[in-house]
Every structure is written in C-alpha cells, then in structure tokens.
Amino acid sequence: MTIIETPIKDLLIFEPKVWNDSRGYFYESFSQKTFDEAGIEAVFVQDNQSLSQKGTLRGLHAQSAPFAQGKLVRVLQGKVIDFAVDIRKNSPTYGQHFGIELSGENHKQLWIPPGFLHGFLTLEDHTIFTYKVTNYYDKASEIGVIWNDPTLNIDWAAHLDAGEFLLSEKDLVLGDFASFQSPF
C-alpha cells in the first residue's frame, strides 16, 4: 500500500496495490501494520456504510472530544468527491480544505484524523461509501459547518450542478465557519 501525503499535515491518502485478473480483483483494504509504520495511532471501533444517490451531499461534520473520531474513508461502489477541512486551531492549515475523488474503481482511501470536518458529494447513483472510525457516534458531540460556507469556498459545483444536491434537514441548518468555535 502506498501512502501519499496531502498539502495538509496528517491527512493522508492510502492507495492499495490491486491485483486484477479474469476473475476480478483483490487488494488489502486495511493493515494495522501500515498504519503503525505511518506513525498513525488509531484503534478502529466501528465501521459505517451509506448508500446514496447521485447528488447526495453529506457534511460538513465532526464530533468533539471526548468522542472525536478519526476516519478511514473509501468508496466500494460508485464515486464521490470527498472533502476534509482542518479545524485544528494551532494548525498552519486551519480552515483549509482538501478534496479527492474516491471511487469503487480507484480504491483510494483517505485518512482523516480527529480535528477535521468531513463531507462528501456522490457523483453516481447507488454509491456505497464506507468508513472505519476510532470512536463511537455520540449525538451530543456532533459539530459542523454549512456545506456552502463562503469562507471555506469549497467548489462542490465543479463536480456536479448545485441544483442537483440532495441534503438532509440537519445539514441545511448548520452554522457558518466565521461563527464556528473549534474544540480542537
């Protein structure tokens, strides 16, 4: 597995070696040894999975301590544009975001440590998104920022017409980044 650094410290791309033949493919989707060698101290406690139609936008979310989560995200089927926003107050990249296309074809994964908001936009119908997390879900610890915040300036529409976005009621009422008080 190849580990690729992003412009934001600690946010990493994992690109597995995929073996293809006439039967299909095989790859190692997770190895604790690879995480250990990368210096990532993570113990995963739960796997989550969602099925979404084209245009579904989920985010931007995180959980505050003591339920902060690290996430290893990937797509099993379909395609997304995935974004992480650095909300670590002492980070030189505070408020900056990184986006990557994850798909059932490219098999790439993104490691998002605690201290980041996370969101994704599905680019195909029947997209299956899955992620391993380092802490359990806790509703009282949920934090977030509205998906179209002008300060963050994430260009979701570069990937799909904004008129096609499907959002939850919860995601439509999140606050803006200017008033966001990061707990990290």
The domain limits of the chain are: 2-172
Q: What is the mean pLDDT of residues 30-53?
A: 95
Candidate list 61, 97, 107, 118, residue with the active-site label: 61
The pLDDT of residue 164 is: 83
Fold entry, domain 2-172? Jelly Rolls (2.60.120)
> β-strands 97-103, 79-86: how paired?
antiparallel
Residue 131 annotated in active site: yes
91-147 pLDDT tens trace? 999 999 999 999 999 999 999 999 999 999 999 999 999 999 999 999 999 999 999
DSSP string, 128-147: EEEEEESS---GGGEEE--T
Q: What is the C-alpha to C-alpha distance for residues 14 and 72, in angstroms, rounded to an integer?
A: 9
Candidate list 126, 131, 136, 137, residue with the active-site label: 131
pTM over 0.75: yes
69-91 pLDDT tens trace? 999 999 999 999 999 999 999 99
Residue 94 annotated in active site: no
Q: What is the mean pLDDT of residues 164-173?
A: 94
Q: Please enumerate in sequence order all residues whose Cβ is within 8 A of that of 93, keeping only pairs 6 or more positions apart, or say none.
A: 7, 8, 9, 86
Fill in the DSSP letter of residue 169: H
